[in-house]
Amino acid sequence: AEQNRELRERLLQLKKERNAIILAHYYQRDEIQEVADFRGDSFLLAQKAAQTDADVIVFCGVHFMGESAKILAPNKTVIIPDERAGCPMADMVSVDGLRKLKAQHPNAKVVTYINSSAEIKAETDICCTSANAVKVVNSVEGDEVIWVPDKNLGHYVQQNTDKKMIIWEGYCNTHDMLTVKDVEEMKAKYPNAQFVVHPECRPEVVELGDFVGSTTAIIKYCKESDCQEFIVGTEDGTGYQLRLDSPGKTFHFASKYLVCPNMKVNNLKKLVKCLETMQPQIYVPPHVADQARLSLERMLLVK
Ligand code: 13P
Ligand code: SF4
């Protein structure tokens, strides 16, 4: 506790010196969410990065999030606590693979989940997050969409749109681990609880949801609902904001495996160190960033 207090004081000082803003995803460790200037899901954090007037953005999340921030705010310095925090789902789609699919379906628009590399975004018509996926898909011209990389979110969107979706076979290791059996056991144990679930989970798990939505949508739903008890089908870091917003309510995570190891690579110590050394910095080659920016900016404009 004493060490953390010292780290927090040092952080405040460095933040001022560097004119930095700390953005943290809801899946980060509590010790990081506690000191963040802004917490959010992928959509809110991308929006914040695009709008901030700080000189430095410290992005506490995984690599693609830092990259998106840099693409949206090319004149700012974007640093991250640990370069090794990647997203396995983002690595499941290759530029070659996507180009082949585009050649096979020349009339389809490419809609890419923000959980993807800058190179993939540069091959994309429009990005989306789990918060706006259905709206984004419905917004594109034509009736065919190439969807990368999350098959589970893709399946969820397909059920809520008339467009024909060609869906890549990627998935989130963490959310995809949750099974129907896990959820049924929890429902038997907590019969009064509602099940709230992220659309990165498997279709048969999502189907059991009393509410389906992005991390922010889940937090908001639990806060506003009359229900007092929830089984939560998303990453366990979400508990921090859930408990903050709904202190009287009870939250049971649907499985002990709902922990993204990559999100947890970051900690308070590394966060302070990256502001001290201003390393590692996110770099995106300008020609890639310029292409990728269009797909992110189009997403931010979808109402
Ligand atoms: P959201 O932030 O859109 O809820 O996405 C979840 C996720 O897995 C981020 O990596
Ligand atoms: Fe990637 Fe899943 Fe971790 Fe999000 S929770 S960063 S999608 S592996």
The pLDDT score that the predictor gives to residue 1 is 81
Residue 299 lies in a domain: no
- Residue in 180, 185, 134 with CA at minimum distance from that of residue 157: 134
Residue 301 lies in a domain: no
- In this structure, the answer to whether residues 14 and 80 fall within a common structural domain is yes
- pLDDT tens for the chain, 303 residues long, are 888 999 999 999 999 999 999 999 999 999 999 999 999 999 999 999 999 999 999 999 999 999 999 999 999 999 999 999 999 999 999 999 999 999 999 999 999 999 999 999 999 999 999 999 999 999 999 999 999 999 999 999 999 999 999 999 999 999 999 999 999 999 999 999 999 999 999 999 999 999 999 999 999 999 999 999 999 999 999 999 999 999 999 999 999 999 999 999 999 999 999 999 999 999 999 999 999 999 999 999 999
End of a domain among 156, 172, 188? Answer: 172
- ipTM surpassing 0.95, yes or no? yes
Domain span at 56:
2-86+263-284
Between the alpha carbon of residue 139 and those of residues 46, 77, 161, 162, 301, the distances in Å are 19, 32, 10, 11, 10
Q: Is the CB of 114 under 6 A from ligand 2?
A: no
Residue 49 lies in a domain: yes
- In this structure, the answer to whether residues 6 and 80 fall within a common structural domain is yes
- In this structure, the answer to whether residues 18 and 78 fall within a common structural domain is yes
Q: Is the CB of 182 under 6 A from ligand 2?
A: no
> Three-state DSSP class for 25?
strand
pTM for the whole thing? Answer: 0.96
Length of the chain equals 303
Cis amide prior to 88 (ω within 30 degrees): no
Hey, what are 12's tokens?
């405040």
Alpha-carbon span 154 to 203, nearest angstrom = 10
- In this structure, the answer to whether residues 137 and 68 fall within a common structural domain is no
Nearest C-alpha to atom 2 of ligand 2 is from which residue?
A: 172
SS3 string, 189-224, reads HCCCCEEEECCCCCHHHHCCCCEECCHHHHHHHHHH
The pLDDT score that the predictor gives to residue 205 is 98
Residue 294 lies in a domain: no
Alpha-carbon span 105 to 216, nearest angstrom = 34
Say if residue 79 carries a ligand binding annotation.
no
End of a domain among 144, 172, 200? Answer: 172
Number of compact structural domains in the chain: 3
- In this structure, the answer to whether residues 17 and 81 fall within a common structural domain is yes
Say if residue 260 carries a ligand binding annotation.
yes
DSSP for 146-192 reads: EEESBHHHHHHHHTT-SSEEEE--B--TTGGG--HHHHHHHHHH-TT
Between the alpha carbon of residue 158 and those of residues 89, 147, 255, 263, 278, the distances in Å are 19, 10, 26, 28, 42
Longest dimension (CA), the chain: 60
- In this structure, the answer to whether residues 69 and 137 fall within a common structural domain is no
- In this structure, the answer to whether residues 58 and 72 fall within a common structural domain is yes
Residue 127 has φ and ψ, to the nearest 5°, of -95, 165
- In this structure, the answer to whether residues 44 and 25 fall within a common structural domain is yes
Residue 146 lies in a domain: yes
- In this structure, the answer to whether residues 248 and 185 fall within a common structural domain is yes
- In this structure, the answer to whether residues 112 and 135 fall within a common structural domain is yes
Alpha-carbon span 164 to 182, nearest angstrom = 32
Q: Are 231 and 184 in contact (CB under 8 A)?
A: no
Q: Is the CB of 62 under 6 A from ligand 2?
A: yes
Q: Is the CB of 88 under 6 A from ligand 2?
A: yes
Which residues, 6 or more positions from 216, have their beta carbon under 8 angstroms from its beta carbon? 26, 40, 41, 43, 44, 131
End of a domain among 138, 153, 172? Answer: 172
- In this structure, the answer to whether residues 164 and 181 fall within a common structural domain is no
Residue 167 lies in a domain: yes
Residue 113 lies in a domain: yes
Any idea what DSSP says for residue 278?
T
The pLDDT score that the predictor gives to residue 2 is 86
Residue 98 lies in a domain: yes
The CATH number for 269's domain is 3.40.50.10800
Say if residue 198 carries a ligand binding annotation.
yes
- In this structure, the answer to whether residues 15 and 80 fall within a common structural domain is yes
